[in-house]
């Protein structure tokens, strides 16, 4: 074991077997959403998409119209597999027609969806993803944004989430921080980690999930630095109880309204008109961590 892996194991109680200065392909993967160089925006609307080709986007939009490929150095975990990052946008058109809820008039959503893959929401897994702001089309940090979340199969809970901006139910005061939160219905909701959402750098997250024991731990770094454990394994309800269990992962932008609350934010509250916001994602994949393997 390298000294780095040893320190991480002591600190986090995690068995880390892939510690090195450059990310290795040592861990078995349970999902790989890293985007090949040959992908086009149209790929994302097709059956070849690594994500759901239809959801979760504005009622009259297609992924082919949304996806961009920014001229940026790729994030850490795209480099070894020659993948490229992508850009997502939010406009007034990013209004989703939900099959069960109708038109979600108070939300703006552009979210890559990994669904119908129970293997990614059970066992012991580690999600990886990197994200970065677009300073030329900034988010409005007076709003709450979801950047990544695990939603239960019946859509009645989020088991964990990465958010940015103001609190949905707090004052609409700009807050350019990212945060990792726990189970949506905990009172109060747990905040596991927080860091400034600095412009012009890649933020790399690792979310280690032991679904059998309801434990979450968080790894984080910026740009090309190896991931470090910032939250050791901690209890969080990530397995739920049927039918509020399993479910799907979302990666992207969900902009919530101001002046709303947890019960009504799909349809009530304030969204400014004429928005043009963007955000970059890359390096989305999942380790099978059943043997303790976590890519750093």
Q: Cβ contacts of residue 198 below 8 Å, gap of 6+?
A: 222
Q: How many angstroms separate the CA atoms of 65 and 70, rounded?
A: 15
**Residue 231 and residue 14 in contact, taking contact as beta carbons nearer than 8 Å:** no
Closest CA to 65 of 40, 47, 38, 84: 40
Query: Which region, judged by CB under 6 A, interacts with ligand NAG, from 2-10, 197-205, 223-231, 238-246?
Result: 238-246
Shortest reach from residue 145's CB to ligand NAG, in Å: 12
Shortest reach from residue 259's CB to ligand NAG, in Å: 8
x/- letters, 131..170, toward ligand NAG (CB under 6 A): ---------x-xx-------------x-------------
Of the pair 17, 258, the CB lying nearest ligand NAG is at 258
Q: How many angstroms separate the CA atoms of 257 and 94, rounded?
A: 13
Shortest reach from residue 288's CB to ligand NAG, in Å: 22
Binding flag, residue 59, ligand NAG (CB under 6 A): yes
Of the pair 38, 241, the CB lying nearest ligand NAG is at 241
Residue choice 48, 272, 290, 291 for contact with ligand NAG (CB under 6 A): 272
Helix (H) or strand (E) holding 69: none
Residue choice 240, 252, 282, 283 for contact with ligand NAG (CB under 6 A): 240
Q: How many angstroms separate the CA atoms of 289 and 295, rounded?
A: 9
The alpha carbons of the chain give a radius of gyration, in whole angstroms, of 18
Residue choice 38, 60, 100, 136 for contact with ligand NAG (CB under 6 A): 60
Q: How many angstroms separate the CA atoms of 250 and 149, rounded?
A: 5
**Residue 249 and residue 148 in contact, taking contact as beta carbons nearer than 8 Å:** yes
Of the pair 60, 100, the CB lying nearest ligand NAG is at 60
Sheet (strand 158-165) strand order: 108-114, 248-255, 144-151, 158-165, 177-181, 191-196
Q: How many angstroms separate the CA atoms of 72 and 144, rounded?
A: 26
Q: Which 180-209 residues touch ligand NAG, going by CB under 6 A?
A: none
Q: Which 1-40 residues touch ligand NAG, going by CB under 6 A?
A: none
Shortest reach from residue 17's CB to ligand NAG, in Å: 28
Location of structure tokens 């024991």: 213
Of the pair 98, 115, the CB lying nearest ligand NAG is at 98
Q: Where along the sequence are the contacts to ligand NAG (CB under 6 A)? A: 58-60, 93, 95, 103, 140, 142-143, 157, 172, 214, 237, 240-241, 244, 258, 270, 272
């Amino acid at each position: 074991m390298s000294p780095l892996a040893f320190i991480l194991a002591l600190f986090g109680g995690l068995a880390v077997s892939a510690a090195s200065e450059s990310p290795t392909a040592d861990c078995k993967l349970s999902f790989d959403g890293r985007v090949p160089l040959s992908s086009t925006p149209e790929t994302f609307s097709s059956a070849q998409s690594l994500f759901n080709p239809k959801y979760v986007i504005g009622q009259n939009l297609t992924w082919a119209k949304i996806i961009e490929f920014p001229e940026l150095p790729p994030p850490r975990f795209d480099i070894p597999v020659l993948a490229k990052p992508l850009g997502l946008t939010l406009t007034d058109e990013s209004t989703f027609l939900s099959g069960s809820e109708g038109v979600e008039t108070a939300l703006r959503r552009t979210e890559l969806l990994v669904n119908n893959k129970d293997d990614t929401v059970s066992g012991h897994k580690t999600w990886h993803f990197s994200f970065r702001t677009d300073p030329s089309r900034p988010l409005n940090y007076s709003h709450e944004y979801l950047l990544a979340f695990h939603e239960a199969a019946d859509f009645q809970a989020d088991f964990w989430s990465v958010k940015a901006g103001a609190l949905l139910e707090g004052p609409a005061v700009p807050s350019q921080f990212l945060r990792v939160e726990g189970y949506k219905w905990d009172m109060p909701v747990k905040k596991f980690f927080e860091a400034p959402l600095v412009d012009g750098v890649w933020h790399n997250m690792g979310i280690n999930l032991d679904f059998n024991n309801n434990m979450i731990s968080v790894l984080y770094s910026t740009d090309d630095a190896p991931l470090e454990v910032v939250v050791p394994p901690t209890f969080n309800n990530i397995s739920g109880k049927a039918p509020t269990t399993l479910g799907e992962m979302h990666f992207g932008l969900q902009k919530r309204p101001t002046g709303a609350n947890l019960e009504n934010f799909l349809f009530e509250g304030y969204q400014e008109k004429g928005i043009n916001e963007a955000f970059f994602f890359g390096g989305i994949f999942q380790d099978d961590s059943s043997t303790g393997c976590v890519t750093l």
